[in-house]
Amino acid sequence: MATRTTPSSTHSQANRAQLDLRRRPRRLRRTPALRAMVRETRLTPDMFLYPLFVVPGEGQRREVRSMPGVYQLSVDEAVKEAAAAKADGIPGVLLFGLPDAKDDVGSAAYDPEAPVQTAIRALKREVPGVLVVTDVCLCEYTSHGHCGILIDEEIANDPTVEQLVRSALSHAAAGADIVAPSDMMDGRIGRIREALDHAGFPQVAIMSYAAKYCSAFYGPFRDAADSAPAFGDRRSHQMDPANVDEALREVELDLEEGADIILVKPAITYLDVIRRVKDEFGVPTAAYHVSGEYAMLKAAARNGWIDEPRAMMETLTSIHRAGADIIVTYYAREAARALA
Ligand code: PBG
């Protein structure tokens, strides 16, 4: 058996062997100026898109119970909120609508007088330069809360796509800059692109929710948008959280069909997907920091369990660092003000 050294002498020998004084990464972390100089990722408010929930009526501003700081807004209030966001440096809003009435085919989705279409016109009139992006889906407009037309309790793809086309056209006619289909039906990007071009809206861009996962983190949104399915779930069209190669195939299809911007959703549980999409396609890539991700931070902060401003910035930085050029977030205004 070899001669045993004492624990303390082993320890100091190992220490001497490991210390390499030529390399001290801590040198560049010593002061705020040094840290800023070598910072690799920077958030700026112009990468944020701010979601708004538009309801009928006037003077309405109702906080969503599960999303502190997020409100259902009537058109006049949505205009004020978008103008304030613009003043904070945020270029645009993403509109969702709650209609007066729902039916089984979601026809309020293309009603020119519905809250979203009315809000688009008001925003374009009253908030110069604001970028108006609209969510295109049927779930807020169907009486059953599903994202499409049901035939024998299954979402029928092709008839649903025709409804989505009508909805996208009505948003374009009202003045939307970008339409954002979030439904995950097959072939809808190509049909919407073709319809927009034929109707004289070739300038309207498409941000496709190409890799949208069937996630537990959309719960609070369904309170905000009153869009929970009356039965069943969204597994037959949204993606399985376990898959990433499939996400790349979805992105490839949507780009072939004419998508201008690709969106991955949710964000923090899919940072690897964001990175792969950005690396493989190099197109403008957005990520949606969704309602449940926001609500978790808010809930922990309200309990005093985390430092919210720091957790917010760390979260948004991780999404940008993973490769997202655009971040859709309910934190847009808070983050923009923190960055100012
Ligand atoms: C519409 C849609 C949803 C979200 C965005 N668009 C809900 C869903 O798919 O159930 C979720 C956004 C969020 O959770 O913040 N289909």
Which among 102, 212, 278, 298 is annotated as catalytic? 212
Alpha helices in the chain (DSSP H): 7-18, 32-37, 75-87, 115-126, 157-174, 188-198, 219-224, 245-257, 271-281, 291-302, 308-321, 332-339
Q: Is residue 65 scored above 90 in pLDDT?
A: yes
Distance 238 CA to ligand 1 centre (A): 11
Band of residue 22 on the pLDDT scale cut at 50, 70, 90: confident
pTM, full prediction: 0.94
Model pLDDT, residue 69: 98
Q: Does the annotation count 265 as an active-site position?
A: yes
Atom number in ligand 1 closest to CA 330: 15
Q: Which residues pair with 53 in a beta bridge?
A: 72, 96
Topology of 41-339 in CATH? TIM Barrel (3.20.20)
- The pLDDT tens digits of the residues spanning 295-310 come to 999 999 999 999 999 9
| pLDDT given at position 1 | 44
CA of 28 to the centre of ligand 1 (A): 42
pLDDT average, residue stretch 304-329: 98
What is the Å distance from ligand 1's center to 218 Cα? 6
Query: Given 80, 102, 124, 265, which residue is catalytic?
Result: 265
Active site residue 212: yes
- Ligand 1 pocket residues where CB is under 6 Å: 135, 137, 139, 147, 182, 218, 221, 234, 290-291
Contact 331, 316 (CB under 8 A): yes
Residues in the chain: 340
Structure tokens of 44? 């700026």
What region, left, alpha or beta, does residue 157 occupy, with left being phi > 0 and alpha being psi -120 to 50 degrees? Answer: alpha
User: What's residue 128's pLDDT?
Assistant: 97
**Mean local confidence (pLDDT), 32-53:** 98
Q: Of the residues 184, 207, 221, which should be mutated to test ligand 1's pocket, given the most ligand atoms within 8 Å of the CB?
A: 221
Could you tell me the pLDDT band of residue 14, with boundaries at 50, 70 and 90?
A: low
Stretch 305-321: mean pLDDT: 98
The two beta strands, 131-136 and 92-97, are parallel
Residue type, position 94, single letter: L
- What pLDDT score does 2 carry? 47
Give the whole-number percent of the chain exceeding pLDDT 70. 95
> Best substitution site from 144, 218, 233, 270 to test ligand 1's pocket, by max atoms within 8 Å of Cβ?
218
Structure tokens at 104: 């089984």
Question: Using one digit for the tens of pLDDT, what is the confidence trace for 222-237?
Answer: 989 989 999 999 999 9
Task: Report the SS3 class of residue 131.
Answer: strand
Angle between helices 115-126 and 75-87 (to 10 degrees): 40
Confidence of residue 248 (pLDDT cuts 50, 70, 90): very high
Distance CA 295, CA 77 (A): 23
- Going from N- to C-terminal start, the domains of the chain cover 41-339
Asked if residues 312 and 331 have their Cβ atoms less than 8 Å apart, the reply is yes
Residue nearest atom 12 of ligand 1, based on CA coordinates: 290
Residue type, 19: L
Using the mean position of ligand 1's atoms as its centre, give its distance from the Cα of residue 207 in Å.
Answer: 14
Give per-residue burial for 221-243: e unless 16+ CB within 10 Å, then b: bbbbbbbeeeeeebeebbbeeee
Coil, helix or strand for 59?
A: coil
How far apart, in whole angstroms, are the C-alpha atoms of residue 278 and residue 174?
32
Q: For residue range 156-215, what is the model confidence (pLDDT) as tens digits?
A: 999 999 999 999 999 999 999 999 999 999 999 999 999 999 999 999 999 999 999 999
Q: How many helices (H) and strands (E) does the chain have?
A: 12, 12
CA 96 to ligand 1 centroid distance, Å: 9
